[in-house]
Amino acid sequence: MQPPILDDLDRCVQAIIERIGPHLVVGTPLGIGKPNPLVNALYRCVAGDPSLHLTLMTALSLERPTGKSGLEQRFLKPFAERVFGDYPELEYMRALHSNTLPANIEISEFYFKSGGLLGNAHAQQHYVSSNYTHVVRDMLAAGINVILQMVARQERDGQISYSLSGNPDLTLDIQPLMREAEKAGRRIAIVGLVNNQLPFMPGDAQVPPEFFDLLVDNPAYAHHLFGVPALAIDPVEHMIGLHASTLIKDGGTLQVGIGSLGDAFVYATQLRHADNNRYRQVIEALGIQQKFGEAITRLGGLEAFTAGLYAGSEMFSDGLLHLYRSGILKRRVYDHELLQKLLNEGKISESIGAETLTALLDAGAIHSPLSAEDAVFLKHYGILHPDVRFDDGSLVLPDGMRLLPDLQDRAILNRIVHDGLGAKLANGVLLHGAFFLGSNWFYQQLRDMPEPERRLFAMTAVSKVNEIFSDVELEQRQHRHARFLNICMKMTLLGAAASDTLASGQVVSGVGGQYNFVAMAHALRQGRSIIMLKSVRRSHGRLESNILWDYAQCTIPRHLRDVVITEYGIADLRGKQDWEVIAALLNISDSRFQGQLLEAAKRAGKLMPDYCIPEAFRENLPEKLQAGLKPFRSAGLFPDFPFGHEFTPEELVLGKALTRLKAHSETLGGKLGIGLALMKPQNRRSAAPYLKRMGLDKPVTLKERVLARLVTSALATAGDK
């Protein structure tokens, strides 16, 4: 049944309330799948009517960056206006930040924008800690009765269809369950808001109009997608990415997320493929092969990618698209167990010939004579030519010749091979993803792709991507040599990872799919989980180790420990005794903290009293790391922005200067230094273009004059005038 198609948001909100009643439990996708204009209209309606109650269940509510200090705001406002265009802000997020959320509205998220809601009482109290694949279960238990989703629209041959685009993740899983609840008497509403800025993704993400109960289609509500700006990759991140790139097997499977660590990995993997000799020189010169050669040989490799990779990654973002453009993401997988098995074993290839039919026949995938079902199967995967027909027991070739399809008859087989086969296997995919989020470049690439190419990137339900329960043998074969790359904040010496929550209990982000992928790595015969983290961090001007003896919170328990990477190397923890785990993590810890970590392990009786860290790992220091990378960076390798950026030249300089200024302001000594620098004579002329960009070239008020002097001083201190 065709749903009503409305052109007004307020009319849609009223239709939802009439359909559901005053108690609204609303789910809306994470990231770019939120229909912000519709969510805002619903929020305003409920906020203005105390007789209504709204519980909004969602995740990753995206906001333009604004900055906290006056300088940050001046820097970010013009940048955000340029990069985010007319992306509409979420009104419930403004209310959350200002603590003005109405009493009849509750916001419950299962994943925060990293660090965005620390200290926010409502957000922290109503956070739901849940595996990505358990979110649907938890939403149903909470009584969800409305789904709001942004969708793309397509009309072809007079038929209209819609695409869940970058967010089929939870909607495909929850929609049939809500329909079952509807049959049992629950009032529900599944609502789509059309925005054709979304790339139209075919396959599982494509749904018919009757998938929805209400649709809003008005070009006035289309808006810019939230484009994630690229951030600079620092030397530490480049080293982590370089180590990770050595653990990927050609012909394997990859999951990797967004952010500078993911970008660093992608850059190093591209270098491995495109300039393999140089890549090997880097690996050798930095001592990576010498220290970790055994793990590299066993788990990964250093060669260029011949067979290529397939991606099974809940998030599809820029990095995976860069790997595709580089010719690395090129291993197609197929949703047929025997076909995938034969491909894995090398008994057939993507190119179709006589051996394809005989191998399928020997494996029992088809029969002789061919049946109608066999012909459908062979045509679906492109093995038979599209113009071949099966008619009344005969195979009709494109030239009209009718054959009894007895593959045991050599003459008939040869005729089919000569005139009835396709050229390449069809309907394979390079990626299964549950949601996407990326840069403006990423979205434009998807919009510009011809549909057959877009079909290579299969957006589907998170239950299909993050678990292997639906068809275990097929997914084992598809996910050969799987490497799941994730990040964490803290790692204990016994191998537990804290990725989402501070020791205080304050949630930084969320579990998301990390636990799913770690569990999958242990369930898949050839899978490995790789957790990446920087060995140290600065907090309020104080250096602290990210590898600790113990930590109050845990996302990945120690019994699921696997591979850990810092800028100082690789620790393979799987199946190791506790003392071996501790020793391996000490080897990749910052040497400024190794002594106290070593003593903590000995005090706990978990390490032999006479154990010493091997000499090769006692100089894990940032200055040595920087010195090792310096000649390669001077030669143009490991740049800050290998994939481009959206900053102006002035913004690049200002960004570095302001970051340094902020770091200095976190310590007493730094603050004194800033004060002294402000009293020195300043060269305003050389700082003029930067002051103009900050709106401080003609300061009027005392505050503006102070800010102008701060910027000029920061530029001078940074050596950029």
pLDDT at 720: 43
pLDDT at 7: 95
- Cα 169 to Cα 108, 175, 507, 514, distances in angstroms: 18, 11, 23, 15
Task: Label residue 471 by pLDDT band (50, 70, 90).
Answer: confident
pLDDT at 672: 65
> What are the φ and ψ backbone dihedral angles of 476, each rounded to 5 degrees?
-60, -40
Average pLDDT, integer, range 205-223: 97
Average pLDDT, integer, range 301-309: 98
Task: Label residue 292 by pLDDT band (50, 70, 90).
Answer: very high
Task: Label residue 669 by pLDDT band (50, 70, 90).
Answer: low
> What are the φ and ψ backbone dihedral angles of 153, each rounded to 5 degrees?
-120, 145
pLDDT digits (tens, 9 = 90+) for 355-401: 999 999 999 999 999 999 999 999 999 999 999 999 999 999 999 99
Specify the amino acid at residue 495: G
Nearest one of 203, 196, 265 to 233, comparing CA atoms: 265
Nearest one of 77, 320, 88, 403 to 222, comparing CA atoms: 88
Element housing 633 (H / E) = helix 622-634
The whole-angstrom separation of Cα 26 and Cα 148 is 7
Q: Assess whether pLDDT exceeds 90 at residue 336.
A: yes
Dmax of the chain from CA atoms? Answer: 95
Pairing of strands 159-163, 206-207: antiparallel
Q: Assess whether pLDDT exceeds 70 at residue 718.
A: no
Place of tokens 């790359």: 485
Contact predicate 200/166, CB 8 Å: no
Could you tell me the two tokens for 58? 């969602």
Which ranges in the chain are annotated with CATH 3.40.1080.10? 5-78+87-221, 235-331+431-535+542-591
- Cα 686 to Cα 41, 691, 711, distances in angstroms: 48, 10, 12
Average pLDDT, integer, range 46-56: 98
What homologous superfamily does CATH list for 5-78+87-221? Glutaconate Coenzyme A-transferase (3.40.1080.10)
Place of tokens 């989980």: 529
The whole-angstrom separation of Cα 555 and Cα 490 is 10
Task: Label residue 721 by pLDDT band (50, 70, 90).
Answer: very low
Q: Assess whether pLDDT exceeds 50 at residue 493.
A: yes
Average pLDDT, integer, range 43-68: 95
The whole-angstrom separation of Cα 47 and Cα 598 is 56
Nearby residues of 701 by Cβ (< 8 Å), 6 or more positions away: none
Average pLDDT, integer, range 689-716: 88
Task: Label residue 468 by pLDDT band (50, 70, 90).
Answer: confident
Handedness of CA 386, 389, 390, 395 (dihedral sign): negative
pLDDT at 419: 93
DSSP states of 264-302 as a string?
HHHHHHHHHHHSHHHHHHHHHHTTHHHHHHHHHHHH--S
Could you tell me the two tokens for 355? 């051996």
Specify the amino acid at residue 408: Q
378: helix, strand or coil = helix
The CATH number of domain 235-331+431-535+542-591, selected from 3.30.56.10, 3.30.465.10, 3.40.1080.10, 3.30.499.10 = 3.40.1080.10
Q: Assess whether pLDDT exceeds 80 at residue 677.
A: no
In the sheet where 497-498 sits, what is the strand order?
A: 497-498, 490-492, 547-548
Task: Label residue 1 by pLDDT band (50, 70, 90).
Answer: confident
Average pLDDT, integer, range 431-443: 96
Average pLDDT over all residues of the chain: 94
Q: Assess whether pLDDT exceeds 70 at residue 671.
A: no
Question: Which bin fits 333, alpha (ψ -120 to 50), beta or left (φ > 0)?
Answer: beta
pLDDT digits (tens, 9 = 90+) for 630-653: 999 999 999 999 999 999 999 899
Alpha helices in 112-247 (DSSP H): 121-125, 135-141, 171-183, 235-245
pLDDT at 681: 62
Could you tell me the two tokens for 403? 């054959």
